[in-house]
Chains A and B, each alone.
Chain A
């Protein structure tokens, strides 16, 4: 019933018409998972992502892709929705209705016209580029642009959204403690951050990877900064996407670790995570400026602290406006998501209204969703609960709904882990971003048909 075609059809078409670049395809069967004890079957979308990577994906900004899509769509006879349908119906003169003493069933509808409310913001969100290609002194194959919005997220009927949210998958330099449903996807690469990063990009379609240098924590392995920097070099070698570098969260050690990492990544325009109010943010910013990187400004669920830290980065550390991204903290669905959502939504609206200390792209540590017991526990610890069902299905959807909710608050880059959650959220962003064609033939069929 849907106007869609399968991957096979699609590949055949690409061959036939010699299409080189293509953006946003919808394929069938992209959400298969198996239950208890077995791995998620990702073959369907893996094929798509590797195809797209080879063809030169990530052309969100390129008109070229649109042109090809239009060409292709005219061949296939599928409508393009790019020109937003302005209601063209001519308003019939509003009939003057005689109000009868007793309401009766009128012969005709009283015609009314719906004029959308106009909403325009004076401000905009800064556009921040992550990664640098050879042309800009780096070695990345492509860059990822964050931000640039002039309206609320996905309100493309107000203003076009230049960059849809990007997804970075987490990579750790030591075996992390992960929920089982997540762990199964990375078991073969734990211990090798380079291989891990490759898997994220090639197999799971990550736009970027975040390498977390957790082992540098003095309470753990206390890996020296210089050694941790080698891991960064390995990852930069292994993958050609933009990367994000995270410390261990130790406020004394992180500035040194990030400084060293910034040095070895010179020219690659990585994002350094993170500058916080209780670290030596000045030192992290100096390293970012010296080696051409972006800084993540991280505060804990407090818009005023976020504003203060951003002000320090701008005024005291003289960070360029195009080199700051904010992490106002992500709390999981059911565990404070309301705080995280509203905090981010307020920050985003303030930015759009012209607050120049808050108009930066937003990052979310969506992997936090896995801390929710509903995501990972085998069954409910609460006696009266209706049984929770298989956790293999609960976990990914917990990460999806956490990310989806925050995307509606304004998040521009998601740090995630479960491959299925990554794939579904990408589909959501492309859909709400207006980049997925088609739909179902009769959206009212569920009213009368068995489903």
Chain B
């Protein structure tokens, strides 16, 4: 955003410290707007005044403009499944954070028979991968027109729209695109793509149906020209596709174009290219080789551009060796580095444990904690789970770094009064903390059992080791 200090925002605010926004002072609210944890429109007095008074309205609009993200935000889809892309502020995540994760759209095409289309759609909507306390899911569909038949394309788009996920419509033929928009425009699909050849027709479609549009050109002069033309004709929701070439110098060229676009927008604040960027790992399927080669390369292309600035992507493969690493990487890169990923330390009761059930210990690093909690849940194990405050560091590093120590374990045992809740004195520690076995026994007087290195193996371990042999 244009403003760099909370004071610049503060001057636009009522300065009454009314607390309606939920913050103690207007200054505090201003600093939250600056780091984007609060929205300008959370200031109710400002909004109310703007409704009554045209001067106040101008002031609000000015503040909204000053605090708008560097990269435009574009919404695809409607309702609760709608996704927002773009809205980024920085080139490197440590400079602030990245905001809207790259949206992943999965390929279906209209020359596929209906049964197969449903199969693919089912796979997309039912996909789940547990990670850090929740299930990761897939964002939406990319519906390609491979039939070049407007009627068939509209039919398939309508069918896919029924799954209720955001869509990218992919057809260069304006007639096919129009037919599809006639059946689903109100669901706000992203249309792909306006090119040097069809831009007039696509500009008309974008205006008539009020849908976001992708502009596609390899030449960045042309791409910028398209963007300027669309913007001046009244299209606000623009996404740029500098063309993904999957191999060799083509891929290095793609890398250059994507980086140049984003750097120009952030460093030179060129608003004519400050739009979300589309990258298409599906292009990997144009290379020669077997399916494993292609899908691996698809994951590689996705990996490069999840790290470097892609805001939306189109994938062909639904195989786990592509989906799982790319979803995980996206989560990692878009994790806010300003907030440590940790959970509250203390005692958790898993599956209503009894006084005879085991006591286990793990760290308060969110990923570790949720993994352990879920593994116990899935394995239907009743347990008392002690969560040690390691300042959000995982087991291995906290043991090495002195944040997981026998004396801290003793403190936790005392604080949680776990000794009053169980009849035994056995503590199961993570396999990666094995070297603390002796010192914890000395410090606490409890008998320490070394559990598996990965809690995914806790079930097998319990079968062998619990209850402990006297």
Contacts and interface: CB of A to CB of B under 8 A. Distances in A.
A binds B: yes
A381 B379 contact: yes
Given A103-B234, A110-B228, A374 B109 contact: no
Interface in A77-117: 81, 87, 89, 91, 97, 99, 103-106, 109-117
B331 to A, nearest CB: 8
Interface in B376-400: 377-379, 394, 397, 400
Contacts of A112: 221, 224-225, 227-228, 272
Given A114-B273, A384-B130, A394 B320 contact: yes
A432 B253 CA distance: 9
A106 B130 contact: no
Nearest to A409: B307
Interface in A431-446: 431-434, 436-440, 442-446
A89 B321 contact: no
Interface residues of A, number: 92
A264 interface: no
Nearest to B200: A105
A313 B168 CA distance: 54
Interface in B118-140: 126-131, 135
Contacts of B222: 109
Given A1-B286, A110-B228, A338-B333, A301 B397 contact: yes
Given A341-B332, A443-B246, A432 B251 contact: yes
A439 B268 CA distance: 31
Nearest to B264: A117
A377 to B, nearest CB: 6
Interface stretch (A46-54, A58-66, A318-326, A385-393): A385-393
Contact of A440 (B127, B246, B375): B246
Contacts of B46: none
A89 B219 CA distance: 10
A285 B332 CA distance: 36
Nearest to A349: B92
B255 A443 contact: no
A279 interface: no
A30 interface: yes
A91 B220 CA distance: 12
B247 A439 contact: yes
A383 interface: yes
A382 B128 CA distance: 10
A184 interface: no
A393 B225 contact: no
Interface majority SS (helix, strand, loop, mixed), chain A = loop
Chain A CB count within 10 A is highest, among B320, B374, B454, for B320
Given A28-B288, A400-B296, A404-B303, A2 B94 contact: no
Interface in A380-420: 380-390, 393-394, 396-398, 400-401, 404-405, 408
A4 interface: yes
B203 to A, nearest CB: 6
A401 B299 contact: yes
Contacts of B234: 103
A75 interface: no
Chain A CB count within 10 A is highest, among B324, B326, B367, B455, for B324
A103 B260 CA distance: 30
A151 to B, nearest CB: 11
A89 B244 CA distance: 21
B438 interface: no
Contacts of A408: 304, 307-308
A338 B332 contact: yes
A21 interface: no
Contact of B233 (A29, A106, A349, A434): A106
B113 interface: no
B229 interface: yes
A439 B221 contact: no
A31 B292 contact: yes
B145 interface: yes
A311 to B, nearest CB: 20
A394 B324 contact: yes
A450 B459 CA distance: 45
B329 A342 contact: no
A445 B286 contact: yes
Nearest to B321: A393
B423 interface: no
B252 interface: yes
Interface stretch (B37-45, B47-55, B277-285, B352-360): B277-285
A389 B319 contact: yes
A28 B248 CA distance: 13
A346 B285 contact: no
A448 B148 contact: yes
A155 interface: yes
A349 B146 CA distance: 45
Given A32-B292, A103-B234, A432-B252, A384 B135 contact: yes
B401 interface: yes
Nearest to B109: A450
Contacts of A334: 131, 328, 331-332, 367
Interface in B265-306: 267-268, 272-273, 280, 282-283, 285-290, 292-293, 296-297, 299-300, 303-304
B221 to A, nearest CB: 5
A296 to B, nearest CB: 17
Contacts of A349: 92
A123 B223 CA distance: 33
Chain B CB count within 10 A is highest, among A29, A104, A390, A397, for A397
Interface of B: 92-94, 107, 109, 111, 126-131, 135, 144-146, 148, 170-172, 192-193, 199-200, 203-204, 207, 216, 219-229, 232-234, 243-253, 255-256, 259-260, 263-264, 267-268, 272-273, 280, 282-283, 285-290, 292-293, 296-297, 299-300, 303-304, 307-308, 316, 319-322, 324-326, 328-329, 331-333, 335, 337, 367, 374-375, 377-379, 394, 397, 400-401, 454-457, 459
Given A30-B293, A388-B320, A401-B299, 8 more contacts: A2-B247, A109-B225, A112-B224, A112-B227, A114-B220, A336-B394, A342-B92, A438-B248
7 closest A-B pairs by beta carbon, nearest first, are A439-B250, A381-B456, A389-B320, A103-B234, A451-B285, A81-B249, A114-B220
24 contacts: A2-B288, A32-B293, A103-B234, A105-B207, A112-B225, A113-B221, A117-B268, A119-B263, A300-B400, A336-B394, A346-B94, A373-B456, A381-B457, A384-B128, A397-B299, A398-B325, A405-B332, A440-B246, A443-B245, A443-B250, A446-B144, A447-B171, A447-B192, A450-B109
